[in-house]
């Protein structure tokens, strides 16, 4: 969906996050887990970017870097603040980050683990307000009531504890808390994967509705491609710490340019017995980010691998306008998408 005058809210450039691997008594660094390895992407104001890839590919690490819950090893994260200035989040110290924290919030996967069981809804949702300096209890109560209504919960529930709520309701509580300070960028890390099927749709509708009403920008992390296709304007695919492909959702599903993306699409079990899927032969396993293969990280599993792939890492480049891929053969391959 094209938005007029789209401006990047966030631009990530050459972002890296390496974790040291330490061994022995002296905890000497013997290597690095290249959890996020030189990634580049942007998110326009008001859009939803999907971040997909298999377990351990670096999705959560990348998200936590953006929110500066982790400090990146190197790279830039250019954020357009509410006042219109562009700042590099990677360069800011704690003090400088503080006023920006409100503008970037996170929704977590686990609606059970992420809420303190000893706090009431008022305390949970009102906590960010208190931290931001809203001392007046009355005003906090009003704002919490407003937030609860916004996510479809009854304000009368304010004095209850989270255990009295179902999974879907708890996810709403988490969303209300994330929205307390009027964020502009919301990072949602697998927000529906722990929810029951019948409650997933309610939560997805809520996220869409809130986006429209509050002009939110989402980074939507998920391994569920059906959900990503439904919710996202554009999609970025990661494999072993690197971005292998980015395109509009429509393009990505219709005409993938990277063999790994095509394999992911083919593996997706479609909820229709008349469409047979899953006939994908991906030999071997996902490589470890601690010792990635030479050349293209995907080459040991790729059906289209040529000699060049084994030695030379493919550049991440624009294949057609707005469609980026990191594959030597992206122009010539004719990969199947989904119907």
Ligand X SMILES: Nc1ncnc2c1ncn2[C@@H]1O[C@H](COP(=O)(O)OP(=O)(O)OP(=O)(O)O)[C@@H](O)[C@H]1O
> What does the binding site for another protein look like in residue numbers (CB under 8 A)?
1, 54-55, 166-169, 196-202, 204-205, 208-209, 223, 225-227, 229-231, 233, 249-250, 263-264, 266-280, 282, 285-286, 338-339
Judged by CB under 6 A, the number of residues near ligand X is 13
Q: For residue 315, give the DSSP letter.
A: P
- Compare residues 89 and 153 and give the one whose CB is closer to another protein: 153
- Compare residues 160 and 223 and give the one whose CB is closer to Mg ion: 223
3-state SS class at 225: helix
Out of ligand X, ligand SF4, another protein, none, what residue 174 binds, judged by CB under 5 to 8 A for its kind, is none
Q: Under a CB-based contact definition with an 8 Å cutoff, are residues 292 and 240 in contact?
A: yes
Helix (H) or strand (E) holding 325: strand 323-325
Q: For residue 313, give the DSSP letter.
A: P
Q: Under a CB-based contact definition with an 8 Å cutoff, are residues 37 and 241 in contact?
A: yes
Residue 337 engages ligand X in binding (rule: CB under 6 A): no
Q: Under a CB-based contact definition with an 8 Å cutoff, are residues 229 and 197 in contact?
A: no
Residue 298 engages ligand SF4 in binding (rule: CB under 6 A): yes
Q: Build a one-symbol-per-residue string for 38-77: x at contacts with Mg ion by CB under 5 A, - elsewhere.
A: ----------------------x-----------------
Q: Please give the structure tokens belonging to residue 189.
A: 């890390």
- Compare residues 253 and 297 and give the one whose CB is closer to ligand SF4: 297
Site for ligand SF4 in 250-269 (CB under 6 A): 258-259
Site for ligand X in 7-36 (CB under 6 A): 19, 33, 35
Residue 111 engages ligand X in binding (rule: CB under 6 A): no
Task: Kindly indicate which of the ranges 6-14, 168-176, 209-217, 297-305 contains the residues binding ligand SF4, using the contact rule CB under 6 A.
Answer: 297-305
Q: How far apart are CA 251 and CA 206, in angstroms?
A: 25
Residue 56 engages ligand X in binding (rule: CB under 6 A): yes
What Rg do the C-alpha atoms of the chain give, in angstroms? 21
Residue 305 engages ligand SF4 in binding (rule: CB under 6 A): yes
68: left (phi over 0), alpha (psi -120 to 50) or beta: left
Out of ligand X, ligand SF4, another protein, none, what residue 259 binds, judged by CB under 5 to 8 A for its kind, is ligand SF4
Task: Kindly indicate which of the ranges 53-61, 252-260, 279-287, 320-328 contains the residues binding ligand X, using the contact rule CB under 6 A.
Answer: 53-61
Buried/exposed 156-175: b ≥16 CB within 10 Å, e otherwise: ebbeebbeebebbbbbbbbb
Residue 58 engages ligand X in binding (rule: CB under 6 A): yes
The set of residues, in sequence order, having a beta carbon less than 8 Å from that of 67 and lying 6+ positions away, is 104, 105, 106, 187
Q: Whole-number minimum distance, CB 257 to ligand X, in Å?
A: 21
Residue 299 engages ligand SF4 in binding (rule: CB under 6 A): yes
Q: How far apart are CA 40 and CA 47, in angstroms?
A: 17
Task: Tell how far CA 174 is from the center of its chain.
Answer: 16
- Compare residues 174 and 259 and give the one whose CB is closer to Mg ion: 174
Q: How far apart are CA 255 and CA 238, in angstroms?
A: 17
Q: Please give the structure tokens belonging to residue 247.
A: 């395109």
3-state SS class at 330: coil
Q: For residue 290, give the DSSP letter.
A: T
Residues of this chain that bind Mg ion (CB under 5 A): 60
Which spans of this chain sit near ligand SF4 (rule: CB under 6 A)? 258-259, 296, 298-299, 302, 304-305, 309, 314, 327-329
């Amino acid at each position: 969906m094209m938005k007029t005058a789209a401006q990047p809210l966030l631009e990530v450039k050459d972002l890296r996050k390496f974790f040291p691997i330490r061994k022995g008594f002296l905890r000497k660094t013997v290597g690095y887990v290249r959890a996020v390895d030189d990634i580049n992407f942007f998110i326009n104001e008001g859009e939803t970017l999907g971040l997909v890839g298999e377990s351990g590919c670096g999705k959560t690490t990348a998200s936590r870097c953006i929110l500066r819950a982790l400090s990146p090893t190197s790279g830039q994260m250019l954020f357009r603040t509410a006042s219109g200035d562009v700042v590099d989040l990677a360069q800011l110290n704690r003090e400088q980050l503080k006023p920006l924290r409100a503008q970037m919030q996170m929704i977590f996967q686990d609606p059970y683990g992420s809420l303190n069981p000893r706090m009431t809804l008022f305390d949970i949702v009102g906590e960010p307000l208190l931290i931001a300096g809203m001392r007046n209890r009355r005003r906090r109560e009003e704002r919490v009531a407003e937030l609860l209504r916004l996510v479809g919960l009854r304000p009368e529930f304010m004095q209850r504890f989270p255990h009295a709520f179902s999974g879907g309701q708890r996810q709403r509580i988490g969303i209300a808390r994330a929205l307390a300070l009027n964020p502009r960028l919301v990072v949602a890390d697998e927000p529906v994967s722990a929810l029951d099927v019948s409650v997933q749709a309610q939560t997805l509708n809520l996220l869409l509705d809130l986006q429209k009403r509050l002009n939110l920008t989402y980074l939507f992390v998920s391994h569920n491609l059906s959900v990503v296709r439904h919710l996202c304007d554009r999609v970025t695919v990661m494999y072993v710490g690197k971005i292998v492909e980015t395109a509009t959702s429509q393009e990505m599903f219709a005409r993938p340019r990277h063999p790994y993306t095509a394999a992911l699409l083919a593996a997706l079990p479609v909820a229709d017995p008349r469409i047979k899927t899953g006939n994908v032969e991906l030999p071997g396993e996902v490589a470890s980010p601690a010792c990635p293969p030479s050349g293209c990280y995907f080459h040991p599993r790729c059906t289209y691998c040529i000699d060049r792939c084994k030695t030379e890492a493919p550049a991440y480049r624009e294949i057609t306008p707005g469609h980026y891929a990191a594959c030597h053969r992206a122009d010539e391959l004719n990969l199947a998408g989904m119907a």
